[in-house]
Amino acid sequence: MTTALITGATAGIGAAFARRLARDGHNLVLVARNGERLREYATELHDRHGVEASVLPADLSTDEGLTAVEERLGDREHPVDLLVNNAGFGNKGRFLDVPMADELTMLKVHCEAVLRLTAAAVPVMRDRRKGGVVNVASMAAFVPRGTYGASKAWVVQFTQGAAKDLTGSGVRLMALCPGFVRTEFHERAGMDTGDIPGWMWLDADRVVDTGLRDLARGKPLSVPDPRYKALLGASRLVPRALLSKASSTTGRKYGPK
Ligand SMILES: NC(=O)c1ccc[n+]([C@@H]2O[C@H](COP(=O)([O-])OP(=O)(O)OC[C@H]3O[C@@H](n4cnc5c(N)ncnc54)[C@H](OP(=O)(O)O)[C@@H]3O)[C@@H](O)[C@H]2O)c1
């Protein structure tokens, strides 16, 4: 039996990872802030799939939370085979509208947590010569899109660089870059998604299926949908100023719906 640790496992893409991995027979360690919701979901996954699902309530924007998850990842007696760094969120507002404390919290959860948890997990995996890390980034990594896009660009660059450094170690690292996915993300951030065309929405379970297939194939970067692969290709041909204008508005309307 292998064990997967998933951050942000109670909703959206993280919950879809937990569902799929439980169905495949992996034991789980579920991480998020809301302990009650974590326990309910762990019980549901255990009852439905018969796997062990333990919970680790932790706020990844705090050193205390990060240290607790680092310690679990460093436990060589109960090694984690797959780490999914998925926890994340959006901030409402454009640059200078967003309080600096919230910008810094985003960098802590999207960048520092990904760095520290990857660094805690990989040595154990490398010694066992097997393991994987999926860092959930975003298509926003490839377009100018505020601190959110910048933090996700960091995730992509970091993951690809570390994956290269670990070539031949038996450990695979992959950045997963979905487009718009129907989750709690936009509602939590108070974003009005009314201007996002229906065809741009992805299903979380499909994103996860494609992402895990790409990880098994050894890809360091996964864009888990042909529509977004085409958009990424096209974006490289579009003038930067136009790209900046389009990307900075789509899906970022704020206020009541
Ligand atoms: N939805 C999209 O369109 C989209 C597109 C591209 C990339 N992404 C990325 O996908 C990832 C998952 O997003 P989602 O759409 O699934 O969002 P979601 O439905 O809002 O779920 C977010 C999850 O992260 C947890 N979380 C948030 N802040 C946390 C913190 N400080 N410490 C620990 N856990 C925390 C939440 O649980 P608690 O509140 O209980 O902590 C929840 O389980 C994010 O990294 C996001 O940037 C999303």
Domain count for the chain: 1
Q: Is the pLDDT at 44 greater than 70, yes or no? A: yes
pLDDT in tens, 170-199: 999 999 999 999 999 999 999 999 999 999
The DSSP output letter for 108 is: I
221-222/171-176 β-pairing = parallel
Supply the Cα-derived Rg of the chain in whole angstroms.
18
Query: Which of the residues are catalytic?
Result: 148
Of residues 240 and 125, which shows the higher confidence score? 125
Per-chain mean pLDDT for the chain? 95
SS3 125: helix
pLDDT, position 247: 67
Q: Could you tell me the CATH number of the domain that includes residue 108?
A: 3.40.50.720
Contacts of 102-111 spanning 24+ positions with Cβ under 8 A: 103/147, 105/61, 106/147, 106/148, 106/151, 107/147, 107/151, 108/60, 108/61, 109/60, 109/61, 110/148, 110/151, 110/152, 110/154, 110/155, 111/151, 111/154, 111/155, 111/158
Spatial separation of the C-alpha atoms in residues 11 and 94, rounded to whole Å: 25
Of residues 38 and 246, which shows the higher confidence score? 38
- Which residue type is seen at 139? M
Mutation choice for ligand 1 from 33, 158, 159, 232, CB with most ligand atoms inside 8 A: 33
Q: Is the pLDDT at 73 greater than 80, yes or no? A: yes
Which residues span the domain enclosing 60? 3-254
Nearest residue (by CA) to ligand 1, atom 6, is 138
pLDDT in tens, 11-21: 999 999 999 99
Q: Is the pLDDT at 203 greater than 50, yes or no? A: yes
SS3 167: coil
Across the beta sheet with 27-32, what order do the strands follow? 53-57, 27-32, 3-7, 82-85, 131-136, 171-176, 221-222
Residue 144: band (very low, low, confident or very high) from pLDDT cuts 50, 70, 90? confident
pLDDT, position 257: 42
pLDDT, position 145: 85
128 is written with which tokens?
Answer: 């066992």
pLDDT, position 256: 47
- Whether the CA torsion 165, 24, 110, 31 is positive or negative: it is negative
Mutation choice for ligand 1 from 86, 250, 252, CB with most ligand atoms inside 8 A: 86
Of residues 249 and 59, which shows the higher confidence score? 59
Q: Is the pLDDT at 254 greater than 70, yes or no? A: no
Percent of the chain residues topping a pLDDT of 90: 89
188 close to ligand 1 (CB < 6 Angstrom): yes
